[in-house]
Amino acid sequence: MRRIVSFGPAFVVLTCAVVVLFAVPSAIRAITAARTRATVTLAQQRLDQDDVLVRLNAAVRDIALSVEPSVVHVDVGGRREGRASSGSGWVWDDAGHLVTNAHVVAGADRISVQFHDGQTSRATLVGMDPLSDIAVLRVEPGPHLVPARRAVGERVFKGDRVFAFGSPFGFKFSMSEGIVSGLGRSARTAMGFAGFSNFIQTDAAVNPGNSGGPLVDVRGRLVGMNVAIATAQDTRGSTEGQSAGISFAIPLAMIESRVPQLIAGGPVLSGYLGITFSAENIPGGSLRRGVEITALAENGPGRAAGLAVGDLITSIDGTTITGPEVLRGVISASSPGQDVELIVLRAGESLTLRVTLGEYPRAARSAELQSELFREFGLSLRDVREGAVIWDVLEDTPASVCGLERGLILFSVEGARVADAAEAASALLAQGLLAGKPVSVRVRASDGQERDLVLRSAPD
C-alpha cells in the first residue's frame, strides 16, 4: 500500500510535465498565429487605405501606354551570308521619320519595322552618323505614327527614374525600369568606338535588341536612346552579352543636334571650340574637376572669346565638366553658330565667358575615322585624284588578310564611288565595318586591273 501511495505524487508531476510540454507550445503557437493574423489584417487595411503604390502602378502603366505606340521593332536583312539582325527605334515625327542606332541598320539592304499594333512597313535609310551612332529611317506617313514626346531643354540628373523600351532578345515592345546611375560616361558602341559620347548611364535592364529604343523619364518624355551595355566580359560598352546593371544611352541633346541634319540630307556638322585640352585637377590639389586648356587654335572661337592656355573649364551651359569626354560630348552636341556659356578657373579666379561655336573641321572628323580604321583594321588611306590610295597595310591585320595592299586605289565601297580618303573611311564605317559587318570594296592596281575584295573584322 505504501508503494502505491508513494508513486502517486510522482505520477501527478509527470502528468503535469507532459501537459506543459505539449500544451504550452501549442498555446504559444496559437498566440503567435493570432498575432500574425492581426498583423496581416492591419497591414492589409493600411494598404487598402493608402493608395500610394496603386497610384505609382497607375503612373507606370500610363508611361507604358503613352510611350509604346511610339516604339518600333526593327528587322534588318544583310547583304551577304544571310545576315539578319534586329533592334529597336522610335517615331520622330508625323512625316514618317524614325530614329534608331546606326549600328542597328549599318550595311542593311532591307529594313522593316513593326509598330505596336502589329502593322509592319518597309523602311528606307535616310542617313546615319557613325560618330554618334545615330540613324534616321523613313516609312510612309499614316495615322499609326505617334511621335515620341521629347524632354527638349530638360536636364537629366543622377538618381532620376527612367524607363527603357525595346526588343531585348527579340521580346518586342518590352519595358524596364531603373535610375540614372551616372552622367558623362564614355563607352564604345557597336560601331566600334566611342565617337562623340557623353552617355547617360542607367541600371535599367537593357539587353541585345534594346539598341535604338527610347529611354524616357517619369512623364514618358524621351531623354535618351539606348546604345550599349557593359558586361563582365566587356566593361567598355557592347551590344552582346546580358545586362549586368550598367547600360548607356545617347543623350537627347546629341539626338536633337543630329537628326534634323540627317533629315535635311546635308553633312552632319558639330560645334567647335578650337582648343586642345587634357584632363587635370585644379592646381593645388583641389578635388574639383575640370579640363585644362593646353593650346588654342589661332583663329578659333575659343581664342576669339578670350580663353587662354591654362584655363580650367569647369562648366558649359550648366553641365559640370568632369573630363574630356563630357566636354567633347557637350560641344559636339551643339551646333555651329550656337552661343554657349563657359565657366573657367584662371589663376584661382572663376570667370564666365560666352563663346560662339564654330564648325568642327572636316579634316579633324576624317582624321578620327581614319584613326579607327588603322587601329582596328591596320588600314591607312591617303587622297589621290581617283579616290583613296592604300597608303599602308599592317601585316596580319584584317586589311592584309582580305588582300588589300599598299598602292591599290580604293574607289568604291558597296558599289558607291568614293572621292577621297575621308569619304572612303566614312563609307566603310557607315556600312557597319566596325560593327562586325563585312564590306565590299573595289580596288584598282597600277596596271589598271580592278577587283572586288571583302573587308571584315578578324575572327574572335
Q: What residues are annotated to the active site?
A: 103, 133, 211
Which class for 331: exposed (0-12), middle (13-18), buried (19 or more C-beta within 10 A)?
Answer: buried
Residues whose CB falls within 8 Å of the CB of residue 77, separated by 6 or more in sequence, listed in order: 83, 84, 108, 109, 110, 111
H/E element holding 421? helix 421-430
Closest CA to 144 of 113, 102, 173, 172: 113
In terms of Cα–Cα distance, which of 365, 364, 407 is closest to 384? 407
Helix locations, 50-101, DSSP H: 52-67
> What sections of 282-337 are H helices per DSSP?
301-305, 324-332
- Which amino acid does the sequence have at 14? L
Q: Which amino acid is at 395?
A: E
Instruction: Name which of 191, 329, 173, 319 is nearest 250 in CA terms.
Output: 329
H/E run at residue 4: helix 2-49
Q: Considering only CA atoms, which of 424, 435, 365 is closest in space to residue 391?
A: 424
- The rounded distance, in Å, linking the Cα atoms of 224 and 73 is 17
Query: Strand pairing of 409-413 and 214-216?
Result: unpaired
Q: Return the CA Rg of the chain.
A: 31
Q: In the chain, what is the greatest distance between 2 CA atoms, to the nearest angstrom? A: 133
Sign of the four-CA dihedral 57, 63, 65, 68:
negative
Residue type (1 letter), 418: V
Q: What angle do CA 380, 381, 387 make, to 5 degrees?
A: 160
